[in-house]
Structure 1
Amino acid sequence: MASASSSLTNHNRVVQPLLTDLYQITMAYGYWKNNKKDDIAVFDLFFRKNPFQGEFAILAGVEECMKFLRNFRFSEQDIAYLKTVMPDSDEEFFQYLAGVSAKDIKVYSVDEGLVVFPKVPLLTVEGPLPIAQLLETTLLNLVNYASLVATNAARFRLAAGPDTTLLEFGLRRAQGPDGGLSASRYCFMGGFDGTSNVLAGKLFDIPVRGTHAHAFVTSFASLDEISSSTISYADDSGKEADIVQMSIDWLKKLSIALNVLVEECNKGELAAFIAYAVAFPKGFLALVDTYDVLRSGIPNFCAVALALNDIGYRAQGIRLDSGDLAYLSNCVRTFFTSVANHFSQDWFKDLTIVASNDINEETITSLNHQGHSIDSYGIGTHLVTCQKQPALGCVYKLVAINGEPRIKLSEDVNKVTIPGKKNIYRLYGADGNGLVDVLMSPTELEPVERQRLLIRNAFIESKRAYVSPSKVEPLLKLYWDQGNVCLPLPTLKELKQRTAISISHLRDDHKRQLNPTPYKVSVSDNLYNFMHEIWLEHQPIGELA
């Protein structure tokens, strides 16, 4: 596991104190002006509703929050700019801002990569009121999208199953460069196997994948355009082979053995495949739908793949980017099997079939119901832009000040906050799966394994139950204190593994795509009574006329 200091060096310089909303700074001035700069506040960062009509989310972005805290200081240029934005503010306030940092802040967080649920604080921020307030927008920005796209990726992984290769192809459709890089990082964390984003591969050590586009195929019109027609044998013998003639010969063999109509095979496409094979004999994977998949693309691919095999190279497979993906993939697999049987090349049966073409979670589910032969998906727009739901909706709410609880009331009960600083525990059932997340007052004793505990729905009096957990997992941990990260920060690959393990401890009915069972989030009996006392204390009493 990476140390905290080593993983915090790669800081995005756009993430800085001025990456915030103006009202955070005006509030900080209001606090300062009213001598509240030394008040100690507690804020909870959480979301109210699960994304994508599901019943879970994945927490992501914690490491980026730590980087932000480590670098949280207003520069001289920042102060000079703020003076132009707030020209009537006291000069002493800007002197105060110049000395502000996160050294007096404590941040408790759920481990990045864990499954999380509504109303459960993902981060709890404690410290001087103006400083804790100034952190709000940036922390929300760093957690919201990261958690949303990691959750989306995890849902794609659940839909595709554990053995299908998932590749993120979303850079060209992402919301700007930062969105593209974040998407690549958190899609990998959520369960994807690779990305087309080369910079993300370099920065985050994510495997990069890619073949060619239709432009490469249409740039060739005839075999005469191939400038290099020879490939060295794979055995380093120094011998060379005429790959053009070998491919033509194999196309003729295919026409005899499998009734391929050579005249329907586009010669420009064949030339493009040969040219690509010359460039990448060890990584030949061809896009086969430029003209006609079954009458041109697949025969041309097979001819070149068999020619490569004669000189010691194994082709990887093909990509489908249009058409009826279930039908075409099954036809392609049948053709590959026929080639394998006719020419005694068993490996040909297992060539990879990659599918792309604006795939979403429902597409994969539908393909699974239809039956298909796809081994890998390249997914872009619906993954990185989260078209199904554009935002997670995390909020940042004041829950205590100077040790006194604070509550926000609303006619919409879903927007009522749970007051006070809290501890959170995940209680597991006998089957090893998460059973319920429980919020408790910090003065309460930690739940004990196999010891009965009364838990309650925070908002519905009649909903209560006893639980005797087989395992108790504390969720909120002190991550930032006295200007330092307190816990080691996992590598991205370790986060990916943690995410997969956390999801595996959810019951299947919580993870299913259609009408999933809500996961229970409860409060202790003590916290329930505490919360409702404060609720009644602050709720105005109406009068009927």
Structure 2
Amino acid sequence: MAAPESEACAAMERSVRQRVPPLLTDLYHFTMAYAYWRSGRHDEPAAFELFFRDNPFGGGFSLFAGLHDCLLFLKHFSFSEEDVQYLRSVLPGCTDPAFFCYLRSLDCSQVTLRSVPEGQTVFARVPLVQVSGPLAVVQLLETSLLCLVNYASLVCSNAARFRLAAGPRLRLLELGLRRAQGPDGGLTASRYSHIGGFDVSSNVLAGCVFGIPVSGTMAHSFVTSFSSLEQVQPRTLSPARGGRDPVDLVTLSLAWRGRICVVLGVEPGQAWLGELAAFLSYAVAFPDQFLAVIDTYSVHSSGLVNFCAVALALCELHYRPLGVRLDSGDICRQSVEVRRVFRVCSEEFAVPSLLSLSIVGTNNITEDNLRQLSHTENEIDVVGVGTHLVTCTLQPSLGCVYKLVEVSGRPRMKLSEDPEKSTLPGRKSVYRLYSPEGHPFVDLLCLWGEGPPQSGLGLRCHPLGGGQGVLTVTPTRVEELLQDCFTQGQVTQPLPTVAQLRERVQVSVNALHPRHTQLSAPDTYTVAVSERLHALITECTSCNSTAGHTDSLPS
């Protein structure tokens, strides 16, 4: 059972304080902070924006995640005496001792964070987070914020893609903890995979901390640990409805196994007794939760026969077994055969509950495997995904960056020899424009303080990436994306629960036009800048090319 909400919130805050202390950053942020302080610029007002340059996995969208932890990190940001003593040991010996007193006094009481809502669909080049405050402080936040957003957003987006590939019918089970990048990566993956669309996790700690539904039965090692029916202890099971003495489940299952072998034309000697012993022991322990892995030996001649024998014995005692798991071979073909046997046994022995048994597939599943399921005959109800979900095999990093856009009210722009690495100057507002059909079709970046677009009125904008020229668009609805979330040391927005974030993800993904959510060769979603921002970009570029430095950038 999940902890009460207040206890869960307190546990989350403790977790963030422990996992993301202010020393979880790169050393050069402290050397820059010292240089700012030494030159008297540390308190200059500055703004940074966090964004990514390309949609992940070759897809048409991403999901923004990790904001919850970012806000708790800002709330508790401060340097302890132990932190400062360590910094004394790694910064150059010429560092002014007064700088360390300055570090001890720092917190985020003068920091403001504006953000896209967590769980929202987002696109390349759109600011996800805007952080403003004293220059040295907001510089020191960079690496930690990137660490908290990058992987959370990537794995949440990956989970959403798996959900799209699976379609609405299949239940998805996340079981990647053992393959994740360390304990924290495993916990993060379980949390954001669930938010992204997975139904259940195998991660017990994720269930405890985040309230995620958890599930699990047996591994092959449990099956292979048994070799004979003598190992089944206890052998008896009381009927679910009471009123009868305990029944010898071993004898009852052997009788059912003989009848099943006749119906299926299987030689009884082909079904491993050690496997039957494993199934019986598990059924005695969990008669209402009996789900067995049936591919340890042979699915057709052993695993399926032994499972049906125990399942029918449980049904006779008025329990309802859950189903089977397939973990090797052609699980689509095997699932069809398994379902056929369930139907045969249900009809032959007049046990209707066999028709509702679940079939779980867990054989190193990839996104492509899930897409192929919809085009291949199968009877799979639940798919378990591990490695390719939590390690994000197709793309190991989202590549979020955190770039300076304004200092003391003056825009700042990085102009790189690689145009893809250039930044957009000035603090911004971001507006999502909706079509008459209710789909978002443009994310418009405007200068901070610029008037918002108006529903029903046409406006000119300049798409990023080139090739489209100037666009004139008329939105039927306008949504402002960046919202104040943290100011004066306090979180100013209610922190959504995992369930609320999960619902927001589904709503935001479903709102997109199918041409943007298709998993292969999606259409590019339009991200554009307003005419005023476009003029500023042109002016900054021109100033840089003529002056060679940022002193000429416009105010």
TM-score (structure 1 length as normaliser): 0.97
Partner of 1:394: 400
Q: Structure 1: which amino acid aligns with 2:15? A: H
Q: Structure 1: which amino acid aligns with 2:78? A: R
Matches within 5 A, 1:287-306: 287-306=293-312
Match of 2:509 among 486, 489, 503: 503
Instruction: Measure, in 2, the Cα distance between the counterparts of 1:460 and 1:356.
Output: 44
Deviations 1:274-317 (A, max 9, x none): 11100100000000000001111011101100100001101100
RMSD: 1.7
Instruction: Measure, in 2, the Cα distance between the counterparts of 1:254 and 1:464.
Output: 71
Instruction: Measure, in 2, the Cα distance between the counterparts of 1:248 and 1:539.
Output: 85
SS of the residue 1:478 aligns to = strand
Structure 1 418/494 Cα, relative in aligned 2: closer, same or farther at 3 Å? same
Structure 1 residue 222 corresponds to structure 2 residue 228: yes
Deviations 1:519-545 (A, max 9, x none): 111111121112111111112589xxx
Deviation at 1:4, TM superposition (A): 13
SS of the residue 1:11 aligns to = helix
Partner of 2:479: 473
Partner of 1:522: 528
Instruction: Measure, in 1, the Cα distance between the counterparts of 2:57 and 2:382.
Output: 23
Partner of 1:26: 31
Is the CA contact 1:11–1:67 (under 8 Å) kept in the aligned structure 2? no
Deviations 1:375-403 (A, max 9, x none): 11111111111111111000000001000
Deviation at 1:504, TM superposition (A): 0.3
Instruction: Measure, in 1, the Cα distance between the counterparts of 2:417 and 2:141.
Output: 28
Deviation at 1:325, TM superposition (A): 1.2
Is the CA contact 1:59–1:112 (under 8 Å) kept in the aligned structure 2? yes
Partner of 2:15: 11
Is the CA contact 2:59–2:519 (under 8 Å) kept in the aligned structure 1? yes
Deviation at 1:10, TM superposition (A): 3.8
Partner of 2:551: none
Instruction: Measure, in 1, the Cα distance between the counterparts of 2:412 and 2:6.
Output: 36
Deviation at 1:350, TM superposition (A): 2.4
SS of the residue 1:496 aligns to = helix
Instruction: Measure, in 1, the Cα distance between the counterparts of 2:545 and 2:58.
Output: 32
Q: For structure 1, which segment, 248-257 or 286-295, has the greater mean C-alpha deviation from structure 2 after superposition?
A: 248-257
Partner of 2:64: 59
Is the CA contact 1:359–1:382 (under 8 Å) kept in the aligned structure 2? yes
Instruction: Measure, in 2, the Cα distance between the counterparts of 1:237 and 1:161.
Output: 45
SS of the residue 1:348 aligns to = helix
Instruction: Measure, in 1, the Cα distance between the counterparts of 2:6 and 2:284.
Output: 44
Q: For structure 1, which segment, 498-507 or 441-450, has the greater mean C-alpha deviation from structure 2 after superposition?
A: 441-450
Instruction: Measure, in 2, the Cα distance between the counterparts of 1:475 and 1:238.
Output: 64
Q: Structure 2: which amino acid aligns with 1:99? A: S
Q: Structure 2: which amino acid aligns with 1:73? A: S
Q: For structure 1, which segment, 121-130 or 334-343, has the greater mean C-alpha deviation from structure 2 after superposition?
A: 334-343
Deviation at 1:195, TM superposition (A): 0.9
Is the CA contact 2:8–2:209 (under 8 Å) kept in the aligned structure 1? no
Across the two proteins, how many residue pairs are aligned to each other?
542
SS of the residue 1:369 aligns to = coil
Partner of 2:381: 375
Deviations 1:315-365 (A, max 9, x none): 100000100111111111111111122222232122111011211101111
Q: Structure 2: which amino acid aligns with 1:508? A: P
Is the CA contact 1:56–1:511 (under 8 Å) kept in the aligned structure 2? yes
Structure 1 residue 41 corresponds to structure 2 residue 41: no
Instruction: Measure, in 1, the Cα distance between the counterparts of 2:192 and 2:70.
Output: 14
Q: Structure 1: which amino acid aligns with 2:26? A: D
Deviations 1:381-426 (A, max 9, x none): 1111111111100000000100000000123222111100000011
Partner of 2:239: 233
Instruction: Measure, in 1, the Cα distance between the counterparts of 2:161 and 2:27.
Output: 36
Q: For structure 1, which segment, 500-509 or 441-450, has the greater mean C-alpha deviation from structure 2 after superposition?
A: 441-450
TM-score (structure 2 length as normaliser): 0.95
SS of the residue 2:383 aligns to = strand
Deviation at 1:6, TM superposition (A): 4.6
Is the CA contact 1:316–1:352 (under 8 Å) kept in the aligned structure 2? yes
Partner of 2:264: 258
Is the CA contact 1:106–1:480 (under 8 Å) kept in the aligned structure 2? yes
Matches within 5 A, 1:263-342: 263-342=269-348
**Which segments of structure 1 move beyond 4 Å, counting only runs of 4 or more?**
2-8
SS of the residue 1:283 aligns to = coil
Instruction: Measure, in 1, the Cα distance between the counterparts of 2:247 and 2:284.
Output: 11
Match of 1:75 among 76, 80, 92: 80
Deviation at 1:28, TM superposition (A): 0.3
Deviation at 1:257, TM superposition (A): 2.3
Q: For structure 1, which segment, 485-494 or 9-18, has the greater mean C-alpha deviation from structure 2 after superposition?
A: 9-18
Partner of 2:175: 169
Instruction: Measure, in 2, the Cα distance between the counterparts of 1:3 and 1:340.
Output: 48
Q: For structure 1, which segment, 232-241 or 481-490, has the greater mean C-alpha deviation from structure 2 after superposition?
A: 232-241
Structure 1 residue 156 corresponds to structure 2 residue 168: no
Instruction: Measure, in 1, the Cα distance between the counterparts of 2:166 and 2:14.
Output: 33
Deviation at 1:429, TM superposition (A): 0.8
Instruction: Measure, in 1, the Cα distance between the counterparts of 2:400 and 2:251.
Output: 61
Instruction: Flag structure 2 segments of 5+ consecutive residues without an equivalent.
Output: 549-555
Instruction: Measure, in 1, the Cα distance between the counterparts of 2:542 and 2:468.
Output: 18
Instruction: Measure, in 1, the Cα distance between the counterparts of 2:174 and 2:466.
Output: 42
Deviations 1:57-95 (A, max 9, x none): 110100000110011000000000101111220011111
Is the CA contact 2:323–2:358 (under 8 Å) kept in the aligned structure 1? yes
Is the CA contact 2:8–2:210 (under 8 Å) kept in the aligned structure 1? no
